[in-house]
Amino acid sequence: MNTQSDFQFFLLWLSENPFIVLVTLFFGYLSIAAIADGFSGHKSDDL
């Protein structure tokens, strides 16, 4: 098992599927933003 070749294969797959990468990044950003918003909005909701 060669991790270097696995990583190169992964990069090749990513370069051939840019739409999947964009969608993954977009949903990742949305979930992080939702979590951060939930933490910041927690205190103001206790009124």
Q: How far apart are CA 5 and CA 43, in angstroms?
A: 48
The tens-digit pLDDT sequence of the chain (47 residues) is 578 899 999 899 989 999 999 999 999 999 999 999 888 776 655 55
Q: For position 25, what pLDDT does the model report?
A: 94
User: Which pTM was predicted?
Assistant: 0.50
Task: Note the Cα 10 to chain centre separation in Å.
Answer: 16
Q: How far apart are CA 27 and CA 19, in angstroms?
A: 12
Q: What tokens does 18 get?
A: 């840019």
